[in-house]
Structure 1
Amino acid sequence: MNLSRPFILRPVATLLLSLALTLLGTLAYRLLPVAPLPQVDFPTILVSASLAGASPETMAATVAAPLERAMGQIAGITEMTSTSSQGSSNIIIQFDLSRDIDGAARDVQAAINAARSLLPSSMKTLPTYRKANPSDAPILLLALTSSTLDKGQLYDLASSKLQQRIAQVQGVGEVSLLGSALPAVRIELQPQELSQYGISLDTVRTTVANATTNLPKGDLSGDALHWWIEGNGQLTQASEYRDLVVAYRNGTAVKLSDVAKIYDSVQDLYVAGYYNSQPSVIMGVTRSSGANMLSTIDAIKAQMSVLQEMLPPGVTLSVAMDRSPTIRESLRETEGTLAISVLLVIAVVFTFLRNARALLIPAVALPISLIGTCAAMYLLDYSLDTLSLMALIIATGFVVDDAIVVLENISRHLEEGATPMAAALQGSKEVGFTVLSMTVSLIAVFIPLLLMGGIVGRLFREFAVTLSVSLLLSMLISLTLTPMLCARLLRPHDSQAGATSNRLYRGIERVLDWVGRSYATSLAWVMRHKRLTLLSLVLTVVGNLYLYTVVQKGFFPDQDTGMLMGQMRADQNTSFQALHPKLLAFSKLIQQDPDVQAVLSATGSGGFGSRNTGNFFVLLKDSSQRKQTATQVANRLSMAAAGVPGASLFLMAGQDLRMGGRSANATYQYSLQSDNLDTLRAWTPKVYAVLRKLPQLTSVDSDAQSAGQEVKLVIDRKAARRLGLNVEDIDTFLNNAFSQRQIATQYQTLNQYYTILGLAPAYTQVPSVLNELFVLNGNGDPVPLSAFARIESGNAPLSVAHQNQMATSTIAFNLADGVSLPQAKAAIDAAVVGVGLPTTIHGSMQGTAKASEALVASMPWLILAALLAVYIVLGMLYESWIHPITILSTLPSAGVGALLLLLATGTQLTVIALIGILLLIGIVKKNAILMIDFALHAERERNLAPEQAILEACRMRLRPILMTTLAAFFGALPMVLQSGGDAGLRRPLGLAICGGLALSQLLTLYTTPVVYVYLDRLGTATGRLWRGRRPSDPARENR
């Protein structure tokens, strides 16, 4: 049966079919969304809760723990982490990839409602949730600056006008505001005056709360007219509060201004933000799960002019950091790599064919296959990203193979004297099964990857499907368009005439003839020393096992996204007043670096950190304008920042792919978990101290901050009771005095604002002032705190972390040069055993380290599964137990070549390099298929002996084998040689393919015929015992 015959005989239909495929692909290419990586986000939901004045331990116990217990019953949760700091708790819930984010959000809302009764009654608002991961890098940072407005007014503009408008853009997950707080009326009480007048703090709170209300007042309705009733019950400015009467003493009104300072300010005084050292309100935009990054950024930037018009004069909204230029530049580099690969493959084909007519045929087949793949990508809702473009780059060396095999066989018939039409019909018929075998067996390599779960399976499914579609289209075109073009374009003896008329052509032909003669001579020697050849094959198998154990392994190559993220951390007892200058010092230091384009920094509660930390976002110049990668710049800046006393700076290159919900100051994470927070706090510093000494680790850092100073008021309950006080009275007094309590709400058109109550700054700076304060008892008598309580100093955590409801501390680290993660893991395990942790504490890798561990453990199984899949497919195609083994015998040398080149270049065996090794399984076996297919045909059709058949196959198929191998090699070579932002992501794939092809091409040309002869003898011997041997093998029946 000749599948190509109807297409050869119907050229118009064949051309129109190819044209339609090209047009569809071109249209789809223009419609494909653009992204840095395939959309593989874990469905993630952030739950936030706040309770003003609560300590981290209180937040963890009374807010985070009840919510975690309620949400821990939701199906599909893979990880739940929480961080509780002063006055706030953030819980990040990460779901399985198969979980629908909207359904998960409904379950989270139900869990919040179920936990409502367990939450503190003093919480003014219920916890809220968003479908976003705050640990993800922001896709866009906007800076709001002004020369006329203060930061509170700027924040109000951002919160009331800009934040909601941006959040409504399709794809936006969260818009967070950093650098300031909403305007507020602050009331700073003077304790001495209050004590003099006999007025309690709670009296002031109640008076202010009752003086500013916004209750509905009803309406009047007559026979003809209707009136709404309104009043002036709401106070909005500080000046309106000053004349409030708090109490009467001796017939004289005591006004609020007599006992307090009232002024317009902001809700949180301990917040700061800067854009290039200029005071600024920063707006960080993260995308929602599954949203396209570039589409979201473009949609926001399209609104910039409208947003600017909403602002008053003197206020500027700037794009401080934008990921889209870096992503687009990376994709342009990848597209450039693709174009170079196409040109190199065409050059390889031209070198062998040396005929313009013959060259035109694969030169047409190649772009049609690639362009047509875009149509399938669009239908499958894929994006044009780095991995899908890498698939197309690799496909350039693959898709031309089928056309080369068909073209070369048809050309051989032409040289033997057949007409173009007869040569096309006969040649395509002979190799149709070969083309099918090569394509199907190559696609079989991806079957285990397509079935693989988790982040790796989801991430590379798009890569595998894209490459498989291009291979299927290549097979379709090679069996339809290619033979049709051969029948119309090729002429008898054209190649010979062209070759003899050009000196270059004659030189190439002489080189190819010499290669053919040398190969034939060396092959004859190899066939006389078959056992030695088999020994070399065994050595390559052993070499694979050894090299696999020594090569460094990792998870995902580091990307250069043009952005750095990091954190400044001061000493744990540092106040905001002392922290602020350090934040500015770090900002100026970073801004002066020649590789930095912009720097944004924020500190305080608005910066999602504890009081001694600050967040940094650094935008680097384009990779073409700097000599170092983002990681190198980050390391250099971190070292330079060591000159700032009392604080440390941790910077890392931003990555598009991150694992786990908790952020850290280094790449890898080791987590300690316990059900007892005190035990964990006691042992974490010991483990941290030991790990810091390990030579295998660098940049070791712990998020455990348990040395914050705490002032504990130890109450003598009997003495307090005797003085007319109870514990609730005392707690209420402390809450009113020190928690920045929100005692009233001002409802305005666009937003709501609070009135904040507290003591004057002179009474909130040192613990000794507690001895100067008085609490009014039920009789209105002032009672000094020192009369019934004593002050004790101690340590308290600045934040409390949970993971899966257990108290957790995380130690982050990077790897020293030349150290692999398994080596580091072994060193960590040994060090932790030496510490002697109690059984109540459990240590484990988390985040990227955990994902890398799982990948390393699955690598051998994934390779074995790919080999088994290929064997099954080949066995079905050839109806043989033996021949698939012959074909697979070509693979060990490819593995050795790939691993050797990775070792030589110091490249880790990451998931990208693993994909390259899996691809080698499909590439290298093509050589064996070309040989074995021809040998089997010669045995059956011409009754040749196996050794004679395989020798003739090697000689006859040498050129197409060289062509296909070199096409694949040069198709992958640009990924090795090119530089740029994402070159580090592409290089491991190119190295694995080029290294494997270089060595396997040299060895398999000799090992395959030897293995074929030996296994043929084995097949003949077992065939006599196997009654079901194939009757269609007359060569073996006659031997």
Structure 2
Amino acid sequence: MLAALVRASLAHPRIVAALALLVTLAGAFALARARFDVFPDFAPPFVLVQIEAPGLSAPQVEAQVTRPVESLLAGTENVATIRSSSAQGLAAIRVIFHRGSDPHRQRQAVIERLAEAGGLLPEGVQAPQLSPLSSSMEYLLHFGYTSDTLDPLALRDLVQWSVKPQILAVPGVAHVQLFGGQARERRVEVDPLRLAATGLGLDAVLEAIAAATAPAGAGYVETAVQRLVIQVEPTASDADALAAAVVDVADGVPRRLGDVASVVDGAQPLFGDATIAGKPGILVETSSQFGANTLEATRALEARLDALAPALAAQGVTYHPALLRPASFVEHAIEKMRRSLVIGAALVVALLLVMLRDWRGALISFSAIPLALLAAVWLLSAWGFSLNTMTLGGLVVALGVVVDDAVIDVENILRRRREAAAGADVDALFAAASLEVRRPVFYATAAVAVAFVPILSMSGLQGAFFGPLSIAFLLAVGLSLIVALAVTPALCMLFMRDHAPAPEARFLGRCKALQRGIVARAAARPVLPAVLLIATGVAGVALLPLFGARLLPDFRETYLIAHSSLRPGVAIAETARVGREVSERLLAIDGVRSVAQQIGRAENGQDTDTPNESEFEIRIEPTAKRPLEAIEADIRAVFERYPNQQAEVYSVLAERIGETLTGESAPFSVGVFGSDLDENDRVAAAIAEVLGDLPDAAGVRLVVPPREPQLRVQLDAEALALHGLRAGEVLRTIQAAFHGTVAAEMTLPDRSLPVVVRIAGGDGGPDALRRLPLRGRDGATITLGELASIDLVSARSVLDHEDGLRRQVVVARPEGGDHVGFAARAREAIAAQVALPAGVYLRYGGSAEAQRAAARELIVHSGFAAVVVVLLLALAFGRARHVALTLAALPSTLIGGVAALWLSGGTLNLGAMVGFVALFGMAARNTILLISHYDHLVHAEGAPWTLETALRGATERLTPVLLTALLTALALLPVALQSREAGHEIEGPMAIVLLGGLVSSTLVSLLLIPPLAVRWLRMAPAR
């Protein structure tokens, strides 16, 4: 089949060339229209369910809302994990499904389950809401507004009703959250004494408001020629009309709402706030839709915001753009990759011209590289893959094979043309030269592809990351093989048929002479190359585990996120005050460009953060004088100045990856599970103490906040009975006084306002709670203090669950690169020093644990891949000695990659591990091609198997091996040199490992294999 493809290509070269041109243009068009993103969608499908429970404490939310809904959702198909967080007034339940599940189908399944929740939830709890389907990164663009002229209510109105609808209309925007300002409500402040004097209760006020604001359809009237719709407007369309609403009629005199209450516009209860550059403002957070093009969505959103900015500025509003912008990382990565490819391409062309000394051959060899890569981009886009850090990394790693495929055919044809006698049949020579290398190239490419199957078969987060990389690599390698089989011979036939090749470059002749001398001397002493091969192989394998291991490198982003928390129970105003101080200190750091603080949670927000918790979004601008590490150290130092504040700083990508793995941002976490919260806390505190004693542990803390001060109201049943009151009435009155009771929604022309009933005096502190007046059945006024005991207690503000079990989490950040080693030491220390009581168990998580799992998985799958490679070698050679020599040569190629990784100060992250896998494949390819060439010389050309034949085969393989190594090195060199630049964090370690490995694999292939082959292989010419 391979021979038929080559012959068809040579028979119709113009058609093949035209098809190649069309594929190149299609690939270029696909590249221009490709969906660019930071990473592939690495998070498994999930649905976030939010349930507002106004007035309920965290334990009440857990018992009455979270647990029933968790039980309801637990039976949903394909559920992997359910995590929940219960806070005051809110339950947030994240349902995570198995990878590969259809997110739309799973979302529908959750909706169907939640349809049964209505009868399970207590009165006053709102219907469950599902957050929009968003991408793994979630973040699209964060920006903000401040004003010196507008008050917080007016600024919030402007952003919520003028800006937010415009944002939601932008394609790619899934969700918008607003932090800061004050959301407006129409407040009915009831005077409890005036209300008591009328003999009416709070229920009468609520009914009057509902009746005055409720819209009602009235049908239509119809004449002979026309239908007229009847539109009945609510009687209360503004504050004055609402105050005039009738509550009751006594002795023919209407008692109006204004008689017992004042109707004013006020602010809704604050669950969070925001500061921008230390000033109060509104922080707008947008998330991207699932499958959206990050670059296109970000640019479209920024264009819309820029168009709105002049009108806002005219009203005294300052626009703060790009407070957090993941697209900047994508743009930087693409620009760095583009620059690296341009530089690499120029170096490749120059080297081809120097080495081949034939501009036609150089052009044909070079054209095969973009053809294969653009065809791969075309297919990736057609199959729905985005171009991201991982898919681009796969194309970068494939360069070695693509370059080899591009060179080997052209070099073999040029060599055969030089060796051919005058008047030889050029067409037959082209066919023979192309067919000569096809079979070994096919098996060599297959071996490389099989080496990548373990990466493709990874599961979990690592599979989501490196699966697209493997697919991109395999596509590029497979397409490169097709190009080498069909396109390169056709182009050679078109452009080189009537062209006599130039003589071989002189320095190649000198290299071959040097090689012959070394190989001949080594063949005379075969023990020396054997010992060298074994020693380098053992050293490479032995040194590899000594490197610090981690899942992913530190991403050099220009945006950082700092999670901070003050002591539990701190008021929002105090958190904002501290935040302003921190922001001012951060902005004083050379290299920090903007700081925004998000406090607590947004109304109907996706998190359950409490008022003492903050998230600082910090934009930095590293320079040569102020590198990222120095700026980040100064940022950490600012937070360390506040001893009562716990804080950790992460890159945006690291935070998202950590939260995907365990729900926490830290690289290492220990989940403590048990039904007794106090027991969980005691065990977690002991674990935190053990971790704090480890020398390389930083940022050790408990995630779920401990108890905070709360006021507990314990109603006295006898006192209630004495005054003829029911507990429900009293609780509704307390809620109305200190939280407010939503009575209706008032619809205005461009917005809606909640109408909230509040009892005046509910903002006077703890004493106001005791003095809260209530009306007994006998008409007498009594205070809450007479009906209940009110005590200051310590209670929980947040309760976390995972799979229905209560949990506390201890997190830590390993200092240094060896995250896997830290995880192992932490496990040992905890097992030795922490005794677990009955009913409590631990679960380890974070990127360090994911790296351990990935390493185990890779080793197991690599074992299966090794068996397949052996079978391929057996098919390729059919001789056990050939297979044994090929396998024996592979470990020694590691030493170059190990040395390069050590010299660069790198760690063994998954990017470097992928580089070693690719290195194994490329080394196997070189050895297969060399030994196959020996077979060709002996069996096809009838040469006897002697030292001279071994020398001839080695020297004939020198040019393609050396050329491939140099071309690949030059293509990867710009990537390796910029490995510490943003955008090259994954590809950089790969390139470094491959560069070092190219040196060792080239030396092994050209200098060690030939003398060992002379002594080890047994071949005889065919008769």
Structure-2-length-normalised TM-score: 0.90
Partner of 1:127: 128
Write out aligned runs for 1:300-339 (5 A).
300-304=301-305, 314=315, 315=317, 319-321=321-323, 322-339=325-342
Residue pair 2:135, 2:292 contacting (<8 A) in 1 also: no
Q: Give yes or no for the alignment of 1:489 onto 2:489.
A: no
Cα offset, 1:108, TM superposition: 0.8
Q: 2:686 aligned with 1:686, yes or no?
A: yes
Indicate the residue corresponding to 2:437 in structure 1.
431
Q: Tell whether the 8 Å contact from 2:658 to 2:665 is kept in structure 1 after alignment.
A: no
Identity of aligned residues (%): 22
SS of equivalent residue, structure 2 residue 238: coil
CA distances 1:93-150 after superposition (whole Å, capped 9, x unpaired): 2222211111111111111112221111222x30110244699452112324455543
Q: Deviations over 1:343-382 (max 9, x none)?
A: 2333333343234344333233333333333333333233
Corresponding residue of 1:344: 347
**1:219–1:313 distance in 2 versus 1, CA, 3 Å:** farther
1:673 corresponds in structure 2 to: 673
Report if the CA contact (8 A) 2:723-2:776 is conserved.
Answer: yes
Give 1:805's aligned amino acid: G
1:934: Cα distance to partner? Answer: 1.6
> What SS class does the counterpart of residue 744 from structure 1 fall into?
strand
Are 2:698 and 1:698 equivalent residues in the alignment?
yes
Q: Which residue of 2 aligns with 1:871?
A: 870
Comparing 968-977 with 519-528, which one deviates more in the overlay?
Answer: 519-528
Distance in 1 (CA, whole Å) between partners of 2:122 and 2:833 is 42
Residue by residue, what CA displacement relative to the aligned partner does 1:714-735 show, whole Å, maximum 9, x if unpaired?
3443344344444334323322
Give the 3-state SS of the residue equivalent to 1:655 in structure 2.
Answer: helix
> Does the aligned pair in 2 maintain the 1:198–1:782 contact within 8 Å?
no
1:384 counterpart SS class = coil
1:408-447 correspondence runs (5 A): 408-418=411-421, 419=424, 421=427, 423-447=429-453
Aligned equivalents of 1:72 and 1:848: distance in 2? Answer: 26
Q: Secondary structure at the match of 2:599?
A: strand
Whole-Å Cα distance in 2 between the matches of residues 789 and 860 of structure 1? 65
1:815 has 2:814 as partner: yes
1:1022 maps to what in 2? Answer: none
Q: Following TM superposition, by how much is the alpha carbon of 1:74 offset from its aligned partner in structure 2, in angstroms? A: 1.1
Deviation of 1:331 after TM superposition, in Å, equals 0.3
TM alignment of 1:101-140, pairs within 5 A = 101-123=103-125, 125-132=126-133, 136-140=137-141
**Is the CA contact 1:2–1:432 (under 8 Å) kept in the aligned structure 2?**
no
Work out the CA distance in 2 between the residues paired with 1:2 and 1:580: 75
Q: Distance in 2 between matches of 1:720 and 1:134?
A: 53
Identify the residue that residue 214 of structure 2 maps to in structure 1: 214
1:933-961 CA distances to partner (integer Å, 9 max, x unpaired)?
A: 12112232425236654343223322322
Equivalent position of 2:577 in the other structure: 581
| SS state at 1:82 partner | strand
Q: Is the alpha carbon distance of 1:615 and 1:399 closer, same or farther for their aligned partners in structure 2, counting shifts above 3 Å?
A: same
Deviation string 1:224-283 (CA, Å, 9 cap, x unpaired) is 79673635532532x555566778999999876676665311212454323334433222
Q: CA deviation at 1:550?
A: 1.7
Partners of 1:205 and 1:908 lie apart in 2 by 68
1:796-854 per-residue CA deviation (whole Å, 9 max, x = no partner) reads 12211111221122222211225432433432442254121223222222343442232
Q: Render the CA deviation track for 1:655-707: whole Å, top value 9, x for unaligned.
A: 18625446545333322222333432343333223322322311122222122
1:572 corresponds in structure 2 to 568
Q: Is the 8 A contact 1:697 1:824 kept in 2?
A: no
What one-letter code is carried by the residue in structure 1 that aligns with 2:109?
A: D
Q: Match of 1:1020?
A: none
Residue 593 (1) aligns with residue 570 (2): no
Distance in 2 (CA, whole Å) between partners of 1:9 and 1:226 is 79
Please name the residue that 1:376 is paired with: 379
Deviations 1:594-617 (A, max 9, x none): 323322223244274202122222
* Structure 2 counterpart SS, 1:855: helix
3-state DSSP class of the match of 1:495? coil
Q: In the alignment, residue 404 of structure 1 is paired with which amino acid?
A: V
Structure 1: 5+ residue stretches without partners: 500-504, 1018-1032
Contact 2:523-2:1012 within 8 A present in 1 as well: no
Task: Give, as a single letter, the amino acid of the residue that structure 2 aligns with 1:152.
Answer: L
Matched with 2:955 is: 955
| Letter matched to residue 462 of structure 2 | V
| Structure 2 residue aligned with 1:272 | 273
Q: Which moved more, 1:144-153 or 1:329-338?
A: 144-153
Q: Structure 1's 426 and 772: CA in aligned 2 closer, same or farther, altered over 3 A?
A: closer
Q: Which secondary structure state, in structure 2, belongs to the residue aligned with residue 445 of structure 1?
A: helix
Alignment check: 8 A CA contact 1:403 1:482 kept: yes
After superposition, residues 533-682 of structure 1 pair within 5 angstroms as 533-606=529-602, 608=607, 609-621=609-621, 627-629=626-628, 633-644=631-642, 646-655=644-653, 658-661=657-660, 663-664=663-664, 666-682=666-682
Q: Following the alignment from structure 1 to structure 2, what is the Cα–Cα distance between the partners of residues 968 and 917?
A: 15
Instruction: For 1:900 and 1:204, locate their aligned partners in 2 and report how far apart those are by CA, in whole Å.
Output: 82
Alpha-carbon distance in 2 for matches of 1:135, 1:686: 34
> 1:549–1:363: structure 2 CA closer, same or farther, 3 Å change rule?
closer
* 1:542-561 residue CA offsets vs partner (Å, 9 max, x unmatched): 33443232211111222223
Local SS of the residue matching 2:86 = strand
The residue type equivalent to 1:582 in the other structure is V
* Structure 1 stretch displaced more, 95-104 or 778-787: 778-787
Contact 1:394 1:968 in 2 (8 A): no
Select between 773-782 and 147-156 the one with higher mean Cα deviation. 147-156
Distance in 1 between residues matched to 2:958 and 2:833, nearest whole Å: 60
Q: Which amino acid aligns with 2:444?
A: M
Partner of 2:1006: 1005
How many residues align structurally?
Answer: 1005
Q: Classify the secondary structure of the residue corresponding to 2:797.
A: coil
Q: Distance in 2 between matches of 1:522 and 1:693?
A: 56
Is 1:341–1:396's contact at 8 Å kept on the other side of the alignment?
Answer: no
Aligned to 2:923: 924
Give the whole-Å Cα distance in 1 for the aligned partners of 2:13 and 2:244. Answer: 95
The 8 Å contact of residues 715 and 789 in structure 1, kept in 2 or not, is answered as: yes
Does 2:904 align with 1:905?
A: yes
Could you report, residue by residue, the CA deviation over 1:585-636 in whole angstroms, capped at 9, with x for unpaired residues? Answer: 2233333333233222232442742021222222333x5687323x653442
Q: Distance in 2 between matches of 1:303 and 1:492?
A: 59
* TM alignment of 1:974-993, pairs within 5 A: 974-978=974-978, 979-993=980-994
Cα pair 2:295 2:327 within 8 Å, conserved: yes
Question: Which blocks of at least 5 consecutive residues in structure 2 are unaligned?
Answer: none
Determine the C-alpha separation between the residues in 2 that align with 1:14 and 1:975.
33
Residue in structure 1 matched with residue 476 of structure 2 by the alignment: 470
Q: Which amino acid aligns with 1:686?
A: A
SS at match of 1:446: helix
Q: What TM-score results when the alignment is normalised by the length of structure 1?
A: 0.89
Q: Distance in 1 between matches of 2:190 and 2:853?
A: 58
Does the 8 Å contact 1:582/1:644 carry over to 2?
no
- Answer yes or no: is the 8 Å Cα contact 1:46–1:133 preserved in 2: no
Change in CA separation of 1:741 and 1:690 when aligned onto 2, cut-off 3 Å: farther
Residue aligning to 1:366: 369
Q: Quick one: which amino acid aligns to residue 991 of structure 1?
A: I
Rounded Cα–Cα distance in structure 2 between residues aligned with 1:976 and 1:44: 37
SS, match of residue 300 in structure 1: helix
Report Cα offsets for 1:367-417 as digits up to 9, x if no partner. Answer: 333333333333323333233333333344332312322233223333324
Question: Which residue, 56, 68, 71 being the options, matches 2:70?
Answer: 68
Change (3 A) 1:250 1:427: closer
Amino acid at match of 1:265: G
